[in-house]
Each structure stands twice: as structure tokens, then as C-alpha cells.
Structure 1
Amino acid sequence: MAALTIVATQAMAQGFPGAGRGGPTEVGVMALKTQDVPYIVTLPGRAVAYEQTDIRPRVNGQIKSIDYDAGHRVKTGDALFHIDDDTYQAALSAAQAEQASAQANVQAAQAQVDRYTKLEKTSISVSDLETAKVTLAQAKAAQLQAKADLQTAQLDLDRTVIRAPIDGIPDVAQVSVGSLVTANQTTALTTVTRLDPIYVDVSESSARIMKVRQRIDKGTLTRGAQLKVSLLLETGEDYDRTGTLISPGATVSATTGTVDFRFQFDNPNRMILPGQFLRAKITLGNTQAILVPQRATTRQGDGSLTAFVASDGKAKKVTLTTAGTYQNAWIVTDGIKSGEAVILDGLKNLRDGAEVKTVPVTINAQGVVKDATPNSPDASTKTGSRANGATATPASAAKSE
């Protein structure tokens, strides 16, 4: 009989079913308050080169040399390729000779006009003078043609040196020394890409844009003086530069229902490369809301988000309406009021209406719960093992739903 009494006493102490209720459950609570919360939208984006140009020859010939190192920065005007220029040097010399001849013809024709003008009233007829003037005009026209031919020959010779049209990073050459190339050919010799600064293109749903505008009109969202834009890299790290809006979207895609936006970021270390997938965090303004730590909430089977609040010594289950997340908390716009105490700790097996004994706690940025009075003898760190079984993953930044 004594043995059975001992077993029963141990069962009650360990909380086995049927062993007795043992009084209210101790829970950690934190008082909530309404505050200004940054309204941040997180959108997927893709990096786009600030400038990118294909390099093609503008004259025919054979590649004589490749004058750059692939992957190394070049400046505007730096030589990339040399085309064999013997033929173009000869053409330039011929054009120079033609211009000299045309200039001599102009001088001779001018001298004849001057002489005929002096003799017009004595021995030269008006007809001869007019003929001399026509010859002078033709000589000047031929001189202009020779000058144009000389300029063309000079341009062709200059184009045998293919130079970088922009600052950037050239790709590997698609030809080798000795290759024959033609003017304006389809295949590019290489591509030069400017990486600093760099563009990031993002797309946003037109429906969500309208919702944001409605919130601004209603006064529930206060627009910031300046649009703040930051990036999340593929590694999940924050990029240490902020962006500037370059091109706001003006049309909605008929296929996706989204609006495109372009932002510009400094990229001095080439951390971001064209084609890279990124996430842009855009701070649209501030909204008045209550922040409820994610670990205090549970996602139900129907998708609703619930939490427990302590009221009159009992746990009360509430359904929350959210407008995104901020750090490790949900931005709650309905379902809970300022001043109410949300239960952060002791959520395991907690039921709606259960009697509770509250202990004030705090939560840090990493989602770790501690007693609000750390100097007390029973102060301890509340880890996730005492919280609800499905602890929410903290968000790294705020975003809209």
C-alpha cells in the first residue's frame, strides 16, 4: 500500500495524465505597444550591366594583334585589337596625292581667272573669262572630293585599331591573331561590360502597388521623404551600398501583371555581376502597428496566424492580421491591442482558457527570451525548447505580405 502511494505521488509531480492539474501554468509574457514600424517590401531582382557593348570591326582585314588581357579593366580609348593596316596606309597615301593634285589644279585655275580678269577689257572676251571661272569651280569641287576621300582613307586607317568605346571589363576574344574579319560582321570580337555602377531590375505586382497607394491615401502608411533601397546577396548577407531609383515603371506587363523598376547601386568591388539574382529591400515609409515576436505565434492548418495573450489569469487565443514582418516579429494590424500581454514562453500544450501565472520577459534580436528582471535569483534564459513546438524563423528584414 505504501509503494502504491509513493508511485501515485510521483505521477502527480511529473504531470502524468490523471495525476492532477497542479495549479496554473507559468508563462513568460511581454506587454505590447503600438509603434512606428518601417514598411519594407522585399522583391526579387536581377542585376543588369550599366553599360555593355559588343566589339565589331568597321573595316576588313586580318587581326594583327590582341592588345588587352581578358578580365582586366580597360578605359575608353584603350586599344583592344589591331588589324593589318598596310592596304589602308597605301590608300591614305593615294588620297593625299589626289588632294595635292586637286589643290594644284585649283591654284592654276585661280591664276587663269585672275589673268583673264585683268585682260578682259583689252584682249580677253567675256566668254573666255566665264570658261575660266567654270574651270576654277570644277577644280574646287574636285579639291573638296579629294579632301573627303582623304578623310575616308584616314578614318579607315584609324579603324584598323579597334578601341574600347566604354570603361569596363572585356571578355575573352572570340578571334585569334591571323583571323580574317569583315566590317560590321555579325560575330562580335569581344564584349566590354561596365560593372560600376550596376543596375538591379525588380518587378512588383500592380495589385500590391494599388494597395500601398490606398494605405497612403487612408493615412495608415506614411510615405518617407526618400525611398530607401538595399540589397540581399545570394549568400543572404546585406550589401553595404544603398541604391537609387532610376526608372519607375510606367506600364503593367500583360503577361505577368507586374510593373518593372530599375535601381542603381555602386559596385566598386565587382561584388554584383550582371545576371545575378538578388533581393531588393525597399523601405516605402512607416506604419503604425504592433510587433508580435514570431516565436509567440503559430500558423494554423487553414493558414491563419494565432497567438496567446494573458488576460485575467487565463490564456486567450487570438487570430492576427499581419502586414509583413520586421526583424523577428510580425507587423500586426488587427487581432491584438496595445497594452495586452502576449505569451512568449511556456506555450507547449497551452490551451485556450487555461489558467496561467505570468512572468515578465524580454526577447532579443536573435529571438532568445529572458526574464525581464535578470538580477532576480530565479532569472534564466528561455530557449526555444520551452516555447511552442514550431518556432517561427526570424525574418532578416521587414517585408509586405
Structure 2
Amino acid sequence: MASSRSPRTVRVLVAALALSFPLAPMLHAQDAPQGAAAREVGVITLEPTDVPYSVTLPGRSTAFEEVAIRPRVSGVISEILYEPGSDVKKGTVLFRIDGDTYQADVDAAAADVAGAEAALRSAETTLSRYEKLVGTGVTAADVDTAEVEVMQAKATLSAAQAALELAKLDLERTEITSPIDGIAVLPQVSVGDLVTANQEDELTTVTRIDPIYVDVQESITRVQQTRDRLDQGSLTRGERIEAELELETGRKFEGQGTFVSPPVSVSTTTGTSVIRLRFDNPRRGILPGQFLRVKLTFGSTPAILVPQGATSRASDGTLTAFVLGNGTAEKRTLASQGAYNNAWIVTEGVAAGEQLIVDGLRNLQNGAAVSPVAVTISETGVVTRADGTPDSFGGAPSSAASTGNEG
């Protein structure tokens, strides 16, 4: 007898039967199939280590010393005695002002001193004679008058000597010298220009750039967090804070910096503090005003380093890796605090003593049966079996680009 069920009825029954089966196998389709042959993978044992705690901050270079050269006496520039851009020492004569008038003032002041000295000698002689003749035609009042004249003569001499010193100073100031060691830039005047004492416009500028200062700005929040970590013991203070400098080109600057001024105030607009460091600059590789990056290393913190080549990052930023668990690959989600060399500084997701899968990762799935082989990783990220033979796990070799160290 022919079936009385229509095609539509058959489709409904098939759908109902499908819905009656568990959905779990479908939900785990991305995991490895059960009973699959174990594949060899390279593993390393995770160990705790002390990682340098560093922060990288932007900064600007500032001259160690910079002086605007201005005249202290008025006159006409008669000579410019330096080459622009050359090194000058403290006391080097840079400019000379016509000093004829000032030399005449010195001569006149010297004559006044000579006259005052003669007047003093005359007054002292008179006083000495009066003192011998008291009671024989010279009264005590005459002696008192002579004493006053001596004192007045001494005062006149002192004033004349002071005027002479001032005249000599003005004459000396016709030679304008550098007060510091440094580099003198282009002069802003020419021979024959008239300048005035203490004018607003400088004649030139002398700048000292060895050593040189670098000012960096740090968030006061992170400063406080670092102090908290030191207090809690999660960060061990180093013997000193290390400061390394990176130029705009990315090249590392030779030499270590030293602290000059720690944070002492906070900007009300940016919430940052300025830290000043000093770097030796014998080759003048740094000029004032340059934009630089400074890496400060405060100490070390205990952490687990996971090679970057053994991890993958999803489009949402999730960082994952595989560890060995009961003969299978177990996928873990990691939490990190920056990077150190070719490894992530991992704080959650793995523990010391676990075996991390670092090679044979291609197409590896969660729950896949694996056969671990001990391996080592070079500083450049190349994986080698612990017995020294090349790896043959069929996966992409572990490697990663160095990202530096960030706290």
C-alpha cells in the first residue's frame, strides 16, 4: 500500500529527529578529534625569573648651561674675536668695545688718587707738628681741627681710590668674555655697532652641551604605583635606577644617565611630573631641543616569561598559548604586563613548572593528543631539540621580534 505521508511531513519528521540528539559534539567541533594519533611537539618547562622592571618615557634635551652675552658698558664694537660655532673657554674674549674713553677715565681717577694722597700727607704732617707745639702757641682746638682735616683727607682718598677701581672695571668690561665653557653661536652685531650697557638684545649666546640634560615627564599615577609595588615587595629596588637613551632614529645612545631632580611637583593640567637626568655628551650626539626616549629601569620583579613565538593573539587582542596537560594540548588564555626581549611577561594563565608547547604549533587544536619532546630556544627564537638535533615537528619555528622591555 502506498504511503500517505506527504514530502512536507517527511521533512518535519527528519528535523524533529535531528533536534533530539545532543548538541555537545557540534559545539566542540573546533577541538581535536578523540583517538587521533599523538603528534610530536617541542616543549620547555616554565620557570620563574626576575625580570627588569622598566618604563619608557618621552623627553626633551636641554642645554647644561646657556648664557646670553650682553655688554656691561656702552660703546662701539671695535673687534669680534671668536669664530662662530667654535669652542670657547671661560674667560675667552669674545668682543672688544672701543676703550679710549674708559682709559682716559682711569687716568683721571688715578690723578685724583694721587692728589688725595698728597693732601692726606700734608694733613698728617700738620697734625704731627701741632701735637708737638701744644701749649706753645698751638691750642687744643687747633689740634682737633688738624685731626678732622686728616680724617677728611682719608675719606677723600678712599673715594678717589673707589672711583679708580670703578674706572678700571669699566675699562676691563670693554673686553666682553665668556662666563662658561661652551660653544659660541653667530654674533648678532658687527664691528662698528653701538651697544649700550645691559641692553635687552644679546650679542651672542654661549651654550654648554657636554654634559646635557634630558627632561622626561611621567604620570604621577604610575609614580605612585611604582612606589606601592616597592612597598609591597612585588618590585625589588636595584642598586641604582638605570637610565638609557634612545635617539629619534632608534639608535641607542652610549652611556648611562644619572638623576638630577626627582619628581617634586605635578602639573595641574596634565597630571605629570618632570624628571631631569644628565648624560655625558662628549661627541655632541645630542643637541638641545631634541625629542628623545628614555628607558628607566627601577629594579626587578618576579614573573614567568613566555616566548612570543609560542603564542598567538586573536583579533580582539586575546593572547593564548598551549601547555601540556595529560598527554594533550591545552589552550590557555594569558594575561601579560608588557614584554622583555623575545618573551611576554605573563602574570596569569600559566604557572611555574608547567610545560609550554613552543614548536609543532601549526594547526594544533585544543585537546589534541601530543607527544612532548624537550627543546631549547636560542636568544633569536630558534628551537632545537634538547639532544642537539634539529627539530622536525612539522610546525613553524618559534621566533619573535624583540620588542624591548616595558613595565
TM over 0.5: yes
Indicate the residue corresponding to 1:155 in structure 2: 169
Q: For 1:370, which of 363, 366, 383 is the aligned residue?
A: 383
Q: For 1:64, which of 47, 72, 78 is the aligned residue?
A: 78
Indicate the residue corresponding to 2:95 in structure 1: 81
Indicate the residue corresponding to 2:406 in structure 1: 399
Q: Is the 8 A contact 1:230 1:282 kept in 2?
A: yes
- The structural deviation recorded for 1:375 is 4.2
Q: Helix, strand or coil: the match of 1:321?
A: strand
Cα-to-partner distance string for 1:159-199 (whole Å, 9 max, x where unaligned): 11111101111111111211111111111111111112111
Cα-to-partner distance string for 1:360-380 (whole Å, 9 max, x where unaligned): 4433333x322224743x546
Cα-to-partner distance string for 1:265-301 (whole Å, 9 max, x where unaligned): 2111111221122222222111111111223333444
Indicate the residue corresponding to 2:140 in structure 1: 126
Deviates more, 1:348-357 or 1:202-211: 348-357
Q: For 2:335, which of 321, 325, 333 is the aligned residue?
A: 321
Aligned length: 374
For residue 369 of structure 1, what is the amino acid of its counterpart?
A: V
Q: Helix, strand or coil: the match of 2:142?
A: helix
Deviates more, 1:356-365 or 1:145-154: 356-365
Q: For 2:234, which of 195, 216, 220 is the aligned residue?
A: 220
Looking at structure 2, the residues matched to 178 and 305 of structure 1 have their Cα atoms a distance apart, in angstroms, of: 73
**What percentage of aligned pairs have identical amino acids?**
51
Query: TM-score normalised to the size of structure 1?
Result: 0.86
Structure 1 188/304 Cα, relative in aligned 2: closer, same or farther at 3 Å?
farther
Query: TM-score normalised to the size of structure 2?
Result: 0.84
Structure 1 residue 100 and structure 2 residue 114: aligned?
A: yes
Q: Is the 8 A contact 1:348 1:387 kept in 2?
A: no
Indicate the residue corresponding to 1:12 in structure 2: none
Structure 1 304/281 Cα, relative in aligned 2: closer, same or farther at 3 Å?
same
Q: Is the 8 A contact 2:267 2:273 kept in 1?
A: yes
Looking at structure 1, the residues matched to 182 and 188 of structure 2 have their Cα atoms a distance apart, in angstroms, of: 17
Indicate the residue corresponding to 1:202 in structure 2: 216
- The structural deviation recorded for 1:97 is 0.8
Indicate the residue corresponding to 2:17 in structure 1: none
Q: CA RMSD in A?
A: 2.5
For residue 94 of structure 2, what is the amino acid of its counterpart?
A: L
Looking at structure 1, the residues matched to 393 and 52 of structure 2 have their Cα atoms a distance apart, in angstroms, of: 29
Q: Helix, strand or coil: the match of 2:128?
A: helix
Looking at structure 2, the residues matched to 219 and 198 of structure 1 have their Cα atoms a distance apart, in angstroms, of: 34
Q: Is the 8 A contact 1:173 1:190 kept in 2?
A: yes
Looking at structure 2, the residues matched to 38 and 192 of structure 1 have their Cα atoms a distance apart, in angstroms, of: 40
Structure 1 or 2, whichever has the larger Rg, is: 2
Looking at structure 1, the residues matched to 54 and 155 of structure 2 have their Cα atoms a distance apart, in angstroms, of: 69
Q: Helix, strand or coil: the match of 1:386?
A: coil
Q: How does 1:339-354 map to 2 (within 5 A)?
A: 339-354=353-368
Structure 1 residue 386 and structure 2 residue 383: aligned?
A: no
Q: For 2:345, which of 331, 334, 350 is the aligned residue?
A: 331
Structure 1 residue 113 and structure 2 residue 127: aligned?
A: yes
